[in-house]
């Protein structure tokens, strides 16, 4: 375990020179610097991050605070994708990552702000935490730069950034997709009303309806709080009185619930009712039928968050709101309304071919 001292001694300079060399200070003789690096390599020396973090003025560690990871549906692997993205972005510029996973069940939650102080965390990324979380507000009141994933920020706070999917655009595209296919009796299985992503998606849906001169009736908008089971129950109830031609769901999980309700009603997806989702979870490529949905690039969102928070930590200028594009994954759970009836009549045999193989290579 070589320390900075060893390097300094062997190089015949003082430790402060070594330190400066390693931190890319400009005021070091090129030769000295070179020699130092040489010796460092020889001695297999790398700066101790802990000591560095303790003594240094500027923080180099980023905190990722994620909630709901333990309680969330196991089909839901979004947090992992985000984590991978964050890790990638953090590592790219030699920052350190410290993760803090919140379990909303456990009582003994610790203050996020304290978590940061104790670890000398200089910038943080929050994901999946609720805006009414008291610790969240405490955190916002610190002077630590913070980027939020999928959370709105009306506050014009220079210390707060955000990264989200293009919820509006994607949602608009999704609704348009159905509208183009002549669906007119559409019900929206929304998530949690107060939520930022929900609001954005709803705007997108409405915007698409607007373009067609259509309106969304209140009774055709259901709120299932992003829960598979609640969506199932709501859809089931709805189908007892009405028969729409399509469901737009604001999450894949809810789409699964809806599909279940539709099937239990003795109806077919998509022949009788089309169902589309939002997220593109892994499982959506394996449902029966495969779910047409919006793919969110969670990895990219994580990575962008890391990059953004670094930018803020380094006090560089730049936009503090990043939007990541989505992609419509056209699969088998939605079909044209009316047209498909004709199609079905003329070609019965073709259809069997499509659903057969589950395993596909991308």
Partner DNA sequence: CTGTTAGCGCCTTCAG
Partner DNA sequence: CTGAAGGCGCTAACAG
Q: Which residues bind its own copies (CB under 8 A)?
A: 1, 44, 46-51, 53-54, 69-70, 74-75, 77, 80, 83-84, 87-88, 97-99, 101, 114, 117-120, 228-229, 232, 256-257, 259-260, 263-264, 282-283, 286-288, 355-359, 361
Residue in 296, 319, 297, 324 with CA at minimum distance from that of residue 308:
319
Cβ distance 184 to 291 under 8 Å?
Answer: no
Cβ atoms of 307 and 315 within 8 Å: the answer is no
| Greatest distance between any 2 Cα atoms in the chain | 88
Distances from the Cα of 1 to the Cα of 4, 5, 45, angstroms:
10, 11, 7
* Whole-Å CA distances, 343 to 155, 271, 339: 52, 11, 6
The CA–CA distances, whole Å, from 19 to 22, 67, 122, 296 equal 5, 38, 21, 43
Q: Which DSSP state fits 93?
A: T
Residue 232 interacts with which of DNA, its own copies, none, CB < 5 to 8 Å by class: its own copies
C-beta of 57 vs 346, nearer to DNA: 57
Nearer to its own copies, 50 or 341 (CB): 50
Residue 333 has which token pair? 């759970």
For DNA, the closer of residues 46 and 321 by Cβ is 46
Rounded to a whole number of angstroms, the minimum distance from the CB of residue 74 to its own copies is: 6
State the binding partner of 30 from DNA, its own copies, none, CB within 5 to 8 A by kind.
DNA
Choose the stretch contacting DNA; rule: CB under 7 A; options: 55-63, 135-143, 226-234, 250-258. Answer: 55-63
For DNA, the closer of residues 23 and 325 by Cβ is 23
CB-wise, 185 or 314, nearer to DNA?
A: 314
Using CB under 7 A as the binding rule, whether residue 4 contacts DNA is answered as yes
Q: Which does 357 bind (CB under 5 to 8 A by kind): DNA, its own copies, none?
A: its own copies
Q: How far is the CB of 315 from DNA (least distance, A)?
A: 14
For 168-186, give the DSSP string: HHHHHHHHHHHHHTT--SE
Instruction: Identify which of residues 14 and 114 has a Cβ nearer to its own copies in the complex.
Output: 114
Site string for DNA, 9-48 (x = CB under 7 A): ---xxxxxx-xx-xx--xxxxx-xx-----------x-xx
Rounded (to 5) percent helix, strand, coil in the chain: 45, 15, 40
Out of 34, 42, 51, 184, the residue judged to bind DNA by CB under 7 A: 51
Query: Least distance in Å: CB of 204 to DNA?
Result: 46
Is the Cβ of residue 241 or residue 361 nearer to its own copies in the bound state?
Answer: 361
Among 55, 74, 319, 347, binds DNA (CB under 7 A): 55
- Cα angle for residues 104, 297, 330 (degrees, 5° grid): 115
15 binds, among its own copies, DNA, none (CB under 5 to 8 A by kind): DNA
| Other Cβ atoms closer than 10 A to 46 | 10
Report in angstroms how near the CB of residue 257 gets to its own copies at its nearest: 7
Q: How many chain residues touch DNA (CB under 7 A)?
A: 31
Buried b (16+ CB within 10 A) or exposed e, 172-184: bbbbbbbbebebe
Q: Report the distance separating Cα 206 and Cα 241, nearest Å.
A: 24
**What is the smallest separation between the CB atom of 31 and DNA, expressed in angstroms?**
7
DSSP assignments along 267-292, one per residue: --TTTT-EEE-SB--GGGGTSSSPPB
Q: Which residues contact 160 (CB under 8 A, 6 or more apart)?
A: 140, 145, 146, 147, 148, 153, 320
Closest approach of DNA to the CB of residue 91, in Å: 18
- With binding defined as CB under 7 A, does residue 291 bind DNA? no
Chain residues that interact with DNA, rule: CB under 7 A: 1, 3-5, 12-17, 19-20, 22-23, 26-30, 32-33, 45, 47-48, 51-52, 54-58
């Amino acid at each position: 375990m070589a320390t900075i001292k060893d390097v300094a001694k062997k190089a015949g300079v003082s430790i402060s020179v070594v330190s400066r060399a390693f931190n890319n200070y400009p005021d070091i003789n090129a030769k000295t610097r070179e020699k130092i690096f040489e010796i460092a390599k020889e001695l297999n020396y790398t700066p101790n991050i802990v000591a560095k973090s303790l003594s240094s003025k500027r923080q180099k560690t980023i905190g990722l605070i994620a909630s709901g990871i333990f309680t969330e549906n196991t089909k839901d692997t979004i947090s992992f994708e985000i984590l991978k993205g964050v890790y990638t972005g953090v590592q790219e510029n030699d920052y350190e990552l410290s993760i803090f996973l919140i379990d909303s069940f456990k009582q003994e939650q610790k203050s996020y702000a304290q978590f940061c102080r104790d670890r000398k965390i200089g910038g943080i990324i929050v994901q999946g935490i609720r805006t009414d979380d008291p610790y969240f507000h405490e955190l916002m009141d610190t002077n630590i730069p913070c980027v939020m994933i999928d959370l709105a920020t009306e506050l014009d706070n220079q210390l707060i950034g955000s990264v989200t999917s293009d919820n509006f655009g994607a949602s608009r595209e999704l609704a348009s997709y159905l509208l183009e296919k002549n669906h007119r009796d559409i019900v929206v299985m929304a998530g949690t009303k107060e939520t930022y992503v929900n609001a954005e998606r709803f705007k997108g849906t409405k915007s698409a309806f607007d373009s067609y001169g259509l309106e969304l009736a209140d009774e055709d908008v259901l709120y299932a709080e992003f829960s598979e089971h609640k969506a199932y129950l709501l859809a089931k109830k709805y189908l007892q009185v009405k028969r729409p031609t399509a469901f737009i769901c604001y999450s894949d999980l809810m789409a699964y619930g809806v599909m279940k309700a539709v099937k239990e009603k003795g109806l077919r997806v998509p022949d009788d009712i089309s169902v589309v989702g939002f997220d593109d979870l892994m499982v959506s490529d394996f449902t029966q039928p495969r779910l047409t949905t919006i793919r969110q690039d969670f990895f990219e969102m994580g990575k962008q968050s890391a990059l953004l928070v670094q930018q803020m930590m380094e006090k560089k200028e730049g936009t503090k709101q990043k939007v990541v594009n989505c992609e419509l994954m056209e699969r088998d759970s939605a079909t044209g309304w009316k047209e498909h009836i004709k199609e079905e009549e003329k070609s019965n045999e073709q259809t069997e071919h499509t659903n057969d193989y589950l395993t596909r290579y991308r």
